[in-house]
Every structure is written in structure tokens, then in C-alpha cells.
Chains A and B, each alone.
Chain A
């Protein structure tokens, strides 16, 4: 073999190895259900009427909640007056009440705010503290919960494992409750991106900047493959468009999306925002193993 042949062979071997590496399946299990059920509810304001709207909406799904521990994971990032950056507190309260009416053993609201270390202050400012107190539900600060080293069930980020809160890992039924928003880096921030909030600040900082460096789309896929939300209640009554997650303008979408599949939910919500879901990398990839891009049943 002369030098030229050796170089060509080396290049071919390296190229093949890279191609195989890139194409190798990066997830261990196909989590997609046979079909995904979706309900799009009309709602044009936040008030006590949401109690009935959410309860009746959940009843459409015949969920088996009896005796289960339910964890509601809203999107509480930062309080910015006049900007709808967070899942509305009234909607979170209504969801908690609805799951209790469906005989859940317990309902916990859990969130690990991304920027703000004073979670009590944030709960107070967003009105969530009042809802928690009035409805006698429990809140767990996922930023400061007990942590369990958890192997990720997909390998897009290369992180291998994350320390995740015991409260979320031991919950029977995890409900992602995103605010329907656009996002500067990921196009949208919906039920799957919302799961960034389960990653604890006490281990990854405020914000969880290591996830950004490992790739936001990639981390979303790894986290959702590991803790796949069982259900989604998306707050699209007032959504946000612009340079999210913090900068943008409120937009009246008058919609709440309920769904038993986070990928299907995000596809519907992205369309509500006027986005093309197939162009959003994590939604496109998630539809190959986390949830369905097709087989949607509208209730």
C-alpha cells in the first residue's frame, strides 16, 4: 500500500465510522403510544371558571388517577410585570383541584425556577403562593430537593446522567404545564422544553447553563426520554411571542391544550403559535421515539 492508498483508506474508514456514529440510534426505548389524544379547550381569561373547564377537560381522557401521586410541573421562570412569561397561577390551581377531584392520592406542584434563587419570592410575585395556600396543596422547590443520580435514557447531549429530584422521580403521574411561548434559541418553549425545570439549580446552577452548553435541543430529548411527562396542560390562554423565554409580547390565543403525549401537545401548540413544528429540531427528533407526530385523536 502506497502513501496515497493509505490516505484514501484512512479517510474512508474515518468517514464510515463518523457516519455510523451519527446515525446510531441515540435512545434506548421507543416510548410512542399507539395514538395520542388531544383536547383543545376554549378559554379567554383566568378566573375560577377554569376549575370546571379543566375538570371537564380531564374527564374526556378517562385518566386512571385514583390513588396516584400527581406532580404538576408549571413553567415559572421569572416575574416580569405585564409579561406573561409564566404558567398562570389560577390555571395551576385549577389543575391541582381537578386532579384531586379525580381521586389523586396527592397533588404536588414542583418547579425549579431557572434564574431566580428566591423561589418563595417568585411564588409570591406570580400569585402561585396564594393558590397553594388557598387550595391546601404542597409545593416542592425542585432546585433544592433531594437528588438521585439518574442515567439518561437517550444520549443526544453526551451528559450520560443527571442528578434529578427524588420528588419527580417518585411521582406516579407527571403533568407538564408549559406557558405557550416562542423561544429565541429553540423556536418554542412548550411541554418538553418545560422539563428543563426539573433539573436542579443546586447541582447545575441558576440558570442551568451546563444544559445550554451541552445543546438545548439535545438536553430536551435526553430529559424527556428519561422523565416523559404523562400528560400536558398547556397555558395558551395568553401566550407569548417574541424573544422568549423572557422577552416578548403577550398574545391572546384563548386556548388550553390538554394531551396525553408531550410531542403531540407541542406540535399542536407550535401550530397555535403559527410555527411549523417539523422545523423545530427537538420536536422533529422526539417524534421518532418520545411521542407521535401522527395518529392524533382530537376529543
Chain B
């Protein structure tokens, strides 16, 4: 696979001297970007890989959470889930895993608090959501959103072998209910609610694919079936490497017949855009292609 080798080389070259990778063109390492790049390079020995692991270890907060980027305030955020998924996949041992898990369990969408539950049930009806079904926010202090909830569910379910408690089971159940509650009427997921001000929102390809990774064992689930159906149609006209990569990972997980055409489109997207420089998109493409080739998906929720 010449293409993967070329992308690997490109990713390694862009590694920062302080470890990790920047989300854009700057020199500030981002935890999200670093996780994707590490997953892309997981089977390669390189100083870029070692420095990135060192970076993730260095920026981890005392409470077990991860910040968004190098130098960020120390309050922790959704990237904690990505770091957990990544470090597990690349087999890196780190201490106090339970601390990270406890942080994740403590963190919940604001609508999970009784006061805000009451607000959403009585005063604020602009968005149609059931506040009893809550998940995780991007950052503490806001309500639940689809992508951080899906990543949290994946991280929690992957940790089941070592830390299967009643609390974990409960949060997984409520989180899954939240994903089902907020799906768009036509199938798939937008950033948050499927309906706002009485109007159905258009789903997003990446959010739908990531949510489908989280509900991967719900093969008979009508929400998952509708989501897959929508994703099959939407990805036909998509040329974005970022969205196609997430789609391929979801299709692989659900053993969907459109996986091959999705990978073909991904290859096509690379041949048509010689100057793709986005590390996240490049890394996700490698992750997807590797996952298909070796049938080993880092975002597989149930191990």
C-alpha cells in the first residue's frame, strides 16, 4: 500500500519537537490530533510515536482527565475519552486508569442535573429532548452532545473488562438512550438534537458515523438501522477524507456492504486532492484503511 506509506511519512514529518501534533498549522500540540496520529502510527516504531506517548503522559491532568491541547487550562474535557481509546489500542500502560474513568463518570451533560432537567421539561421547550436521557458534554459546564457522548460510550465499553461496575453500566444505558432520543427523524445524527424549533435538522456524516460506532452491537435497533441507511446515501456524494474515513470505520463495524465503495471513494479523494494537509484527516484515513486491512478497529466498542 504505497498510499499508506506516503501518508505515514507525511504524518511523521509534521510531528512537533515537543511531542504530538498540532490541529492546524501552529506549534501547539492538540490532544485530539495526537490521538488520531498515534492510532495511525500505532504499528510503527518511530521517535514521533514515542514523543507523542510522552506528550500524552505529560499533559494528563492530576484528576486523570486530559486537556484539549498543550498549555490548556487544567479542567479536562472530552479528549479524555480519545486518550483512553488510543492508549488502550496501542497497548500503553499508564497508571491510575481508574482516576480517568472516575473523571469520565463524574462528568455529565448539564441536563443531567435536577435543576436543568426541570428547566428543559417546563420552561425551555425550543429543543425537543428528554433530559432524563443525558450523555457527555464537550467541556464541563454544558449540555450533552452526540460526538463526546459516543466517544465516552466507546471508552467505557472498552473498559468493561477491568472496571465493570453498576455505575458504568448505568451511564452506558442512559448514554445509549440519549443517542436514540436525539437522532434526526430521517435517520442519522446532527451535533445535538434532531429537532430544533419544530424543524428536523440535517444529519452530519461524521457525527452519524461516530454514533454508529457507539451503538455497534445494536444491530436490530431501529435507530441504528435508520442511521446506517442515511449514512449509505449521504456518503455516496461525499469527497471529504475526514467524513469518508469515519464512514468507513462505521461501515466496517456494522459489516455493511457499502464498505468497499467507501474505501474506493477514500482512495479517489486522495488522488483528486494531492495537497491534503490536515493531519486529522490524513490520520483517520490511515486508521480506516488499516482497520479494513487488518480488521482491527480502534473504535470498536465491544472487545
Contact = CB atoms under 8 A, between A and B. Distances in A.
A246 B143 CA distance: 19
Given A120-B278, A246-B201, A206 B142 contact: no
B30 A144 contact: yes
Interface in A95-153: 115-118, 120-121, 124, 140-141, 144-147, 149
A78 B199 contact: no
Interface stretch (B133-141, B151-159, B215-223, B252-260): B133-141
Please classify the interface of chain B as helix (H, G, I), strand (E, B), loop, or mixed, using the class held by over half of its residues.
loop
Contact of A146 (B26, B197, B278): B26
Interface residues of A, number: 33
Interface in B175-208: 190-192, 196-197, 199, 201-202, 204-207
B243 interface: yes
Contact of B141 (A141, A147, A202, A213): A213
Contacts of A140: 24-25
Nearest to B191: A115
B75 to A, nearest CB: 11
Contacts of B201: 246
A45 interface: no
B23 interface: yes
Interface stretch (B6-14, B55-63, B234-242, B289-297): B234-242
Contacts of A147: 28, 69
A153 B126 CA distance: 32
A161 to B, nearest CB: 9
B191 A207 contact: yes
Contacts of B281: 120
B128 interface: no
Most buried by B among A124, A146, A204, A243: A146
B98 interface: no
B239 A213 contact: no
Given A118-B243, A121-B243, A210 B142 contact: yes
A55 interface: no
Interface residues of B, number: 47
Interface string A231-273: 0000000000001001100000000000000000000000000
A203 B75 CA distance: 11
Interface in B117-164: 126, 137-139, 141-143, 145, 147-148
Contacts of B243: 118, 121
A149 B68 CA distance: 13
A16 B281 CA distance: 56
B108 interface: no
B68 A246 contact: no
Contacts of B280: 144
Nearest to A79: B202
Given A118-B240, A120-B241, A144-B30, A203 B72 contact: yes
Contact of B26 (A80, A145, A149, A203): A145
Given A115-B190, A117-B147, A118-B240, A166 B32 contact: no
A118 B26 contact: no
Given A166-B26, A202-B23, A202-B32, 6 more contacts: A121-B205, A140-B24, A145-B25, A206-B138, A207-B192, A210-B141
